[in-house]
Chain A
Amino acid sequence: MNENELKRIEQESAALLSLLREVRDEDNATLRVAPCPRPSKRRSLRISPYWLVAASVLGFMLGMAVPRDTGIAAREYTTLLADTSHTLGRSLAAGDVNFALLVK
């Protein structure tokens, strides 16, 4: 759009633009504007992206620290432990365990 073309249309529409300003002033005058709003002094609770990253890292570290699910029910642990101890005991008695390897 050419700058001069818009200027020409505006000049031709002078009466219209004058009426438009009249309408604007009339509209503005009819409006009752409320008193100035008093914004709250309380700080808004904004979550910074840094906090999000820190929380994710902490969550990951905690996740790694907690024992993982082995798929073995708690009551089965005792049986498993007894079996292992029994096997180990027998192996020790039979002299099957190479203590040199265990120490390494």
Chain B
Amino acid sequence: MRRLTADTLPSLPDAELMLRVGQGEHTAYEVLYERHAQRLGGFFLRMLAYDTAKAEDMVQELFIRVWTHRSSYHPSQPFTTWLYAMAYNLCKNDYRHQEVRQGYAAECSLREEPIATTDEALERSELRQLLRQAVQTLPEAQRDAFLLHYDEELSVPEVARIVGCPEGTVKSRLATALQTIRRQMKMCL
């Protein structure tokens, strides 16, 4: 594979960058990190009950895994599905070790929110906080599908592959989750 300069690498698609990572090209790995780290950090944050320190550690852990398992990536598979499957498994391992969701309500109330200056901004800020709580109180399977589909914008077949269940089940979980959140937010929206 032709070696490119650091300037041209950011223009390459994920799959091609990952192929270069597979051959040990560290610059391509850094480009992938720059491209996905922030967003994956947000995903970990929501999956791990807003534990910021843990979410930041998880991003590092995930990308170390990307490097160590780089040979397992196959270009026929979308890179984001491969990456999110790994991220999802990391979260699942974490759930097994400790009940991160316990005490979320207390943590949520302590979480600092930007100070709203107007009534409208204050209302919006409260709404966002309510929505965070509503998503976190969903049953685990529904919340995982919900976050992967609506927050991470992965398609239903991709979510199905990541969580390991049929597409119909994912759709049903999404619909139930949306209805539950709507019910909880009905008074506010």
Contacts and interface: CB of A to CB of B under 8 A. Distances in A.
Interface of A: 1, 3, 5-6, 9-10, 12-13, 15-17, 19-24, 26-28, 30-34, 36-37, 39, 44
Contacts of A13: 178, 181-182
**Residue of A5, A10, A27 with highest tally of chain B CB at under 10 A:** A27
Contact of B55 (A17, A26, A31, A37): A31
B171 A6 contact: yes
A28 B171 CA distance: 26
Given A13-B178, A36-B33, A39-B67, 9 more contacts: A1-B172, A3-B171, A16-B181, A16-B182, A20-B135, A20-B150, A23-B131, A27-B45, A33-B59
A36 B128 contact: no
Contacts of A33: 37-38, 41, 56, 59
B60 interface: yes
Among A10, A28, A32, which residue has the most Cβ atoms of chain B within 10 A? A28
Contact of B128 (A6, A12, A22, A37): A22
B59 A34 contact: yes
A17 B131 CA distance: 10
A10 B185 CA distance: 15
A31 B64 contact: no
B179 interface: yes
Interface range on chain B: under 10, 10 to 19, 20 to 34, or 35 or more?
Answer: 35 or more
Looking at chain A's contact residues, the main secondary structure is helix
B11 interface: no
B68 A16 contact: no
A31 B38 contact: yes
Contacts, number: 85
Nearest to A31: B41
26 contacts: A1-B172, A3-B171, A6-B171, A9-B178, A10-B178, A13-B178, A16-B185, A17-B150, A20-B150, A21-B151, A24-B151, A26-B128, A27-B45, A28-B39, A28-B41, A28-B42, A31-B42, A31-B52, A33-B38, A33-B56, A34-B56, A36-B33, A37-B33, A37-B60, A37-B63, A44-B68
Contacts of A15: 189
Interface string B7-43: 0000000000000000000000110011001110110
The 9 closest A-B pairs by CB, nearest first: A28-B42, A1-B171, A1-B172, A39-B67, A36-B33, A31-B41, A33-B37, A36-B30, A24-B151
